[in-house]
């Protein structure tokens, strides 16, 4: 039994479980493996009996659509993928309803887009809906709404979606069920002697570069997206595990402290829900470039951003939108909620508050971005991470 893992696992009351498309794909091209869902339902029933709330982020709509339409290869065109998702989503949910229902578990379909989580009001509505499902013992099955998605508002992969949903519901643990044994220090397909990383206590730079691409005809992720998800979860103060989904009773064994998969230990300081939303849940509307003095004040003294430190404005936004703050070298320093529109800030950049009010002919907020509405790079883990 791993004592460090158990320290975190013993505190888990809410868990997000992400199911990869490869686990739902059958042995033959275009076939679907529904028995896996039955095994998952049994394990979730055991977790519920221990008082845990469980949420499933499930890929597979396109895989089920390919099966229904008799396709052997996944198309690349967005309209074709949307059509397959439309066909497959109902079949996917029917498989969950049937398998979970046999074990006395009710499920509910929740389809999300990036826009749903970018707008705070819709974000709160989604959270409230899921909270109500939890209260009634219902397992939400979440997927991206592929039938209406366009490139500009897509999550890109369900590892990213699972991360955002974990933040949305305040999960204590996120588990990625995959077709691999965990994270390795080298590609085990190339190097048979590659070492599995059992526990990650501190982030290592090699993890940012040691991941491969998607390995199946139906998947959209790969180890790279899982590594990015792990980095975000650790820095937000939430534990994460990558475990082999087909292994016998793998969730039960994980919670028993067995050495399965790779366990990512969270940082001791947990980010607030608001900070997590700012860091990863929302699309930014523009950039505010600051001088070196303002950059140091933000990073070293955790100050608010004042108009006097602003050098350039890029993009169009209104007060209340989220913007990136970049330093003189163009690298992101922080992001936060703007207290002033882009048009007004462009007129008063570099000015003191009183001077800015005189130029605009009306009162100006003391801060372009208040420190309470801001998340810095070191807090969000954006240093080498793409949001």
Average pLDDT, the chain: 86
Q: How far is CA 96 from its chain centroid? A: 22
Element (H, E) at 312: strand 310-315
Q: What is the mean pLDDT of residues 73-95?
A: 87
Vertex 139: Cα angle to 7 and 115 (nearest 5): 95
C-alpha 156/C-alpha 160 separation (Å) is 7
Which DSSP state fits 140? E
- pLDDT category at 149 given cuts 50, 70, 90 is low
Please tell me the CATH code under which domain 3-271 is placed.
Answer: 3.40.1160.10
Given a cut of 60, whether residue 221 has pLDDT beyond it is no
- pLDDT category at 212 given cuts 50, 70, 90 is very low
- Write out the two tokens for 62: 């396109």
pLDDT (tens digit per residue) in 233-242: 998 899 999 9
Q: Is the dihedral of CA 327, 332, 337, 338 positive or negative?
A: positive
* Per-residue model confidence (pLDDT) at position 379: 56
pTM score: 0.83
Evaluate whether the domain defined by 284-380 bears CATH number 2.30.130.10.
yes
Q: What is the mean pLDDT of residues 336-348?
A: 95
C-alpha 332/C-alpha 385 separation (Å) is 11
pLDDT (tens digit per residue) in 294-341: 999 999 999 999 999 999 999 999 999 999 999 999 999 999 999 999
Q: Which of 16-25, 45-54, 265-274, 306-315 has the lowest mean pLDDT?
A: 265-274
* Per-residue model confidence (pLDDT) at position 82: 85
- pLDDT category at 165 given cuts 50, 70, 90 is very high
- For every residue of 202-235, DSSP letters joined together read S--GGGGT------SSS-S--HHHHHHHHHHHHH
Q: What is the mean pLDDT of residues 12-19?
A: 97
Q: Please list, residue by residue across 5-29, b when 16 or more beta carbons sit within 10 angstroms of its beta carbon and e when fewer do.
A: beebbeebebbbbbbbbbbbbeeee
Other CB atoms within 10 A of residue 325 CB: 26
What phi, psi does 289 have (nearest 5°)?
-90, 130
% of the chain beyond a pLDDT of 90: 53
Domain residue spans of the chain = 3-271, 284-380
């Amino acid at each position: 039994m791993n004592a460090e893992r158990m320290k975190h696992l013993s505190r888990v009351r809410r868990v997000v479980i992400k199911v990869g498309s490869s686990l739902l794909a059958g042995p033959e091209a275009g076939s679907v493996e529904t028995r896996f869902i039955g095994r998952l339902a049994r394990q979730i029933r055991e977790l519920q009996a221990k008082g845990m709330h469980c949420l499933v982020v499930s890929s597979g709509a396109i895989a089920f659509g390919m099966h229904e339409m008799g396709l052997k290869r996944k198309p690349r065109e967005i309209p074709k993928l949307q059509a397959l998702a439309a066909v497959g989503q109902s079949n996917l949910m029917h498989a969950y309803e049937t398998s979970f229902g046999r074990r006395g578990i009710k499920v509910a379909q929740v389809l999300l887009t990036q826009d749903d989580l970018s707008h705070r009001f819709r974000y709160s509505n989604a959270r409230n809906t899921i909270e109500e499902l939890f209260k009634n013992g219902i397992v939400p099955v979440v997927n991206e709404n592929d039938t209406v998605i366009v490139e500009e508002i897509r999550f890109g992969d369900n590892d990213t979606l699972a991360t955002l949903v974990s933040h949305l519901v305040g999960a204590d643990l996120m588990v990625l069920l995959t077709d691999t044994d965990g994270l390795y220090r080298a590609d085990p397909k190339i190097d048979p002697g590659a070492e599995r990383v059992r526990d990650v206590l501190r982030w290592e730079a090699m993890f940012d570069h040691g991941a491969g691409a998607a390995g199946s005809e139906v998947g959209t992720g790969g180890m790279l997206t899982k590594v990015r998800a792990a980095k975000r979860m650790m820095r937000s103060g939430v534990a994460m595990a990558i475990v082999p989904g087909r292994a016998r009773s793998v969730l039960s064994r994980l919670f028993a402290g067995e050495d399965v998969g790779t366990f990512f230990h969270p940082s001791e300081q947990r980010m607030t829900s608001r900070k997590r939303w700012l860091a990863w849940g929302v699309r930014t509307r523009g950039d505010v470039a600051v001088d070196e003095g303002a950059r140091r004040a933000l990073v070293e003294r955790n100050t608010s951003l004042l108009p006097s430190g602003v050098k350039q404005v890029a993009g169009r936004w209104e007060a209340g939108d989220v913007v990136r703050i970049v330093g003189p070298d163009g690298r992101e320093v922080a992001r936060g909620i703007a207290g002033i529109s882009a048009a007004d800030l462009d007129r008063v950049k570099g000015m003191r508050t009183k001077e800015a009010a005189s130029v605009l002919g009306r009162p100006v907020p003391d801060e372009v971005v208040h420190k309470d509405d801001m998340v810095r790079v070191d807090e969000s883990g954006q240093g080498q991470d793409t949001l």
